[in-house]
Amino acid sequence: MLVPTTMPGVADPQAAALLQPRWDRARGLLLTALAGCPWAIVVLCVLAAVLTGATDGFTAWLIPPMAGSILPAVIALAGVRGLVHEPPRWVRAAFFTGGAQLLLGVFPVVGVAAGSGGAGAAVATVVLVLALAAVTLAVSFARRAMSTLLTPVSPELGATPFTVAVRARLRDTGLVSGSVSIGRTGLEWTARRHRAVGHDRLLFSELRDVQPTVLPEAAGPVPWLMLSDGSAVQATPGPAVLLHTPSRTVLLPVDEPHVFARLLSVRVSTWRATPPL
């Protein structure tokens, strides 16, 4: 089975039962995004090629577009199982799969169909519109699948193997974004401004204590993460979490710090209870 029907990788029966309804909805959306929509595009390309061939005769030029639409769909289908535990990657996978199908399959076959004239032009228009709609839907379904599974953030998500990403609260000076991700063996936080990026990480083995806190308004924005261009992004006043290790203290400007801390505590406990591979 490409995607399991039951909540994957959860040993805690209570957490599994609470999260199963989320998984049921997210699973259907994920399969639609990474299997249903890509193969619908394949069908459109094959139909366009067949109808064009039936009108003007089949040519070798129709073979590469059909193959170009099939290959990304096959890769996406084969990769679904590996993406199950990585919800933040679902939208990107849907986008790149659909984009590859458009470039390698849809646009070439539409060009051949439109060049044949007559009914071929009408076929090209319909295929192009439907293919673009399918790619848009795939990305939308992938985003909804991730949102359905991971929001609202709850401590039970710590018992899962899913990467849980939350928004970092940053001072926006223009195209600034940031996130904090809890993986299976540690945390990672990233920020981006234009092309400049920055990231850092912390392994669970280094973590000694997690402390919810509040950054006071009087202190104003505080430097949070250095970017590749030498500048720093700033965290705004408000809720936050402090991570204490033997060598440093890390600030994470996240909303709902108490929920985040409980989620992290459950994830660390799950990691400690999992035997090493």
Q: What is the 3-state secondary structure (H, E, C) of the chain?
A: CCCCCCCCCCCCHHHHHHHHHHHHHHHHHHHHHHHHHHHHHHHHHHHHHHHHHHHHCCCHHHHHHHHHHHHHHHHHHHHHHHHCCCHHHHHHHHHHHHHHHHHHHHHHHHHHHHHCCCHHHHHHHHHHHHHHHHHHHHHHHHHHHHHHHHCCCCHHHHHCCCCEEEECCECCCCCEEEEEEECCCEEEEEEEECCEEEEEEEEHHHCCEEEEEEECHHHCCEEEEECCCCCEEEECCEEEEEEECCCCEEEECCCCHHHHHHHHHHHHHHHHHCCCC
Alpha-carbon span 98 to 83, nearest angstrom: 16
Question: Is the same domain home to 198 and 217?
Answer: yes
Does any domain span residue 191? yes
Residue-wise pLDDT tens digits, 116-173: 766 778 888 999 999 999 999 999 999 999 999 999 999 999 999 999 999 999 998 7
Between β-strands 222-226 and 232-235, what pairing exists: parallel, antiparallel or unpaired?
antiparallel
Residue 180 belongs to a domain: yes
Q: Which of 122, 150, 178 is the last residue of a domain?
A: 150
Q: What is d(CA 187, CA 76) in angstroms, rounded to the nearest whole number?
A: 27
3 assigned to some structural domain: no
Residues 136 and 176 in one domain: no
Looking at the structure, do residues 167 and 61 belong to the same domain, yes or no?
no
Domain boundary among 91, 123, 150: 150
**137 and 93 share a domain?**
yes
211 strand-pairing partners: 242
Cα separation, 23 vs 167, in Å, equals 22
Among 96, 124, 150, which residue terminates a domain? 150
Question: Are 109 and 145 within one domain?
Answer: yes
46: left (phi > 0), else alpha (psi -120 to 50), else beta?
Answer: alpha
Q: Show the low-confidence residues of the chain (pLDDT under 50).
A: none
* Residue 5 within any structural domain of the chain: no
For residue 7, tell me if it sits in a domain: no
Strand partners, 149: none
Assigned domain for 123 exists? yes
Report pLDDT for 57: 65
In this structure, are 112 and 56 located in the same domain? yes
* Full domain range(s) for residue 44: 13-150
CATH number for the domain that contains residue 267: 2.30.29
The answer on 226 and 163 residing in a single domain is yes
Note if the pTM is more than 0.75.
yes
What pLDDT is attached to residue 229?
Answer: 92
Tell me whether residue 1 is in a domain: no
Specify whether 187 is located in the same domain as 220. Answer: yes
Q: Is residue 226 part of a domain?
A: yes
Residue 116 and residue 56 share a domain: yes
Residue 162 sits in the same domain as residue 114: no
Distance spanning both ends of the chain, measured CA to CA: 24
Query: Are residue 95 and residue 73 in the same domain, yes or no?
Result: yes
Count of domains observed in the chain? 2
Closest Cα partner for 259 from 199, 210, 205? Answer: 210
Specify whether 160 is located in the same domain as 237. Answer: yes
